Amino acid sequence: MGFVFFVKSILLGVGLAMDAFSVSLANGLNDSKMKTKRVVLISFIFALFQFLMPLIGWLCVHTIANEFKIFEKCIPYIALVLLVFIGGKMLLDCKNEECSECGNTINCKEVGILALIIQGIATSIDALSVGFTISDYTLYMAFISCLVIALVTFLICFTGVLLGKKFGTSLSGKASLLGGIILIIIGIEIFVTGVF
């Protein structure tokens, strides 16, 4: 494991984290009063799934590679359904009522843990295929590479949530609406890229 190994892992992390960054931004837009503990939780969930998915992909290559190739074709469809569902729910929940806690005309309802897990799966499911690109690694090397990917994802998502919080305050009542639209667009982008 040398310099090139770590650079490759960092670049994989950046590439894989872009969808998670956008969803993190949407989560920040949805809750401009989010506490730091929650920002860390959201970033951790995305990082966890970006760690697990390539590792699962690596394990699949070394165990059930033929079955995984069949599943790989379903990835864009699964990501589309999950992100459109969550984004659509955010749009439906978008109310212009005044929040009793902060007085803003935004939907201050935080995204639940189940929705965060679904977001984590939806934005990282395409990372399963990274298992193919690192299939020549030993288990130890694959583990370290996935750890680097997770760390990069955490930092990128943490930044995304903070940016979303900052812009969420200035966007007021449009924050939840914009967050939902972003999620739907990401789902469509993953679908179009994966299928075409």
Report the alpha-carbon distance of residue 82 to residue 74 in Å, rounded. 12
Is residue 65's pLDDT more than 70? no
Mean pLDDT of the chain: 80
**What is the mean predicted confidence (pLDDT) over 64-88?**
73
Q: Each residue of 134-193: pLDDT tens digit?
A: 877 899 999 999 999 999 999 999 999 999 888 865 654 565 677 678 778 877 887 888
Is residue 98's pLDDT more than 50? no
pLDDT of residue 156: 93
Report the alpha-carbon distance of residue 60 to residue 14 in Å, rounded. 23
Position of tokens 């070394």? Answer: 62
Sequence-distant (≥ 6) Cβ neighbours of residue 52 within 8 angstroms:
124, 146
Report the alpha-carbon distance of residue 134 to residue 188 in Å, rounded. 27
Choose the most confident range, by mean pLDDT, from 51-65, 89-103, 136-150.
Answer: 136-150
Q: Each residue of 18-42: pLDDT tens digit?
A: 888 888 988 888 887 889 999 999 9
C-alpha 93: how far from chain center: 21
Question: pLDDT above 70 covers what percent of the chain?
Answer: 81
Helix, strand, or coil (residue 105): coil
Is residue 97's pLDDT more than 60? no
CB neighbour class for 57 (10 Å; exposed up to 12, middle 13-18, buried from 19): buried
Number of Cβ within a 10 Å radius of residue 15: 14
Position of tokens 């390539």? Answer: 54
pLDDT of residue 168: 66
pLDDT of residue 69: 67
pLDDT tier at 93 (50, 70, 90 boundaries)?
low
Number of Cβ within a 10 Å radius of residue 46: 31
pLDDT of residue 130: 78
Task: Look up the pTM and report it.
Answer: 0.73
Nearest to 29 by CA among 127, 175, 160: 175
Structure-model confidence comparison of residues 133 and 37, the more confident one: 37
pLDDT of residue 154: 97
Helix, strand, or coil (residue 148): helix
Is residue 107's pLDDT more than 50? no
